[in-house]
Amino acid sequence: MASTNIVDNQDGTGITATVEGYSEAILWAAPFTGKHSAAAFSQVATFDEDGSQSVSLAEGPYFAVWQLDGPFAAPTAFRVSDGTPGLHQRCLVALREFILSLSLPGYPVEPTKHKLHKRPIRTITEFGEKPHGVHYWKIDDSLRLADNSRNSVTYPIQIALIRGNNGNNVADRDWTLSRQIIIQSFPRCPLPDIPEIHTVEVVPSTLYYDTGELNLDLQSLIFRCVTELPAIL
């Protein structure tokens, strides 16, 4: 069956174009700039047999039109990227690394005890019969228009420290000391690998969550990572 395909290399180099079942094929591409009339198409690859070609293109969105054995096919779209994760994911990973680096009292020091999740479900059993660990997950982002070319966006991350208590109801000094250290560590926005984030607001959540008969102590914090995102079109 005849087919064409365009795959983003996700390393900033461009795309890989593939053709099967045509005697001659030409790929035309144009950067998308918000207007069809502002985009000039250019020939970026030609084929006289089946195969794949690497096409060097700058990062960004594109329109593509295949000319297949003469006639033109319907326009399609693709994006060239460098594979960098989105800011919300980068904040999730960076926050975990920072919390680990603090070696907090009452927190586990083993990286395997600090887990990233899509949402907080089926998480207690991951830490064994006497659970002790930290879970991290993204919660809903929010935005507001900062000006006519930027959005102010907040990427929240929530963490939960879980620790078995064997039914003990005695107050532990480390349980609140670790929260204090975290709060004191964030005024200077200590996420150097994410310069786009200019503010990290620490929002204390539950201190002792009622887990019923599970004999667990659970506390949580929310980190609101704030950035200004410029328009890209």
Question: 2-12, pLDDT tens digit by residue?
Answer: 999 999 999 99
Residues 54, 165 within the same domain? no
Question: H or E element: which one contains 87?
Answer: helix 87-102
Residue written as tokens 């395997």? Answer: 112
Rounded CA separation 217/180 (Å): 17
CATH number at residue 66: 2.60.40.10
pLDDT at residue 1 is higher than 60? yes
Residues 14, 93 within the same domain? no
Rounded CA separation 222/130 (Å): 25
Residues 24, 103 within the same domain? no
Domain boundary among 80, 105, 126: 80
The secondary structure of the chain in percent helix, strand, coil, rounded to multiples of 5, reads: 20, 45, 40
CB within 8 Å of 143: residues ≥ 6 apart: 151, 152, 153, 154, 229
Query: Taking Cα atoms as reference points, which of 192, 14, 204, 231 lies closest to residue 90?
Result: 192
Residues 199, 93 within the same domain? yes
Residues 42, 111 within the same domain? no
Domain boundary among 58, 80, 102: 80
What's the pLDDT at 35? 67
Rounded CA separation 175/66 (Å): 62
Which residue range(s) make up the domain with 10? 3-80
Residues 108, 194 within the same domain? yes
Structural domains of the chain, count: 2
CATH number at residue 180: 3.30.2000.30
Residues 130, 191 within the same domain? yes
What's the pLDDT at 209? 83
For residue 112, the Cα-to-chain-centroid distance in whole angstroms is 20
Residues 183, 209 within the same domain? yes
Domain boundary among 50, 80, 110: 80
| Two tokens, residue 186 | 């964030």
Question: 183-232, pLDDT tens digit by residue?
Answer: 999 887 778 889 999 999 999 999 988 776 778 889 999 999 999 998 87
Question: 104-150, pLDDT tens digit by residue?
Answer: 999 999 999 999 998 877 677 777 778 899 999 999 999 998 788 88
Residues 71, 120 within the same domain? no
Residues 169, 218 within the same domain? yes
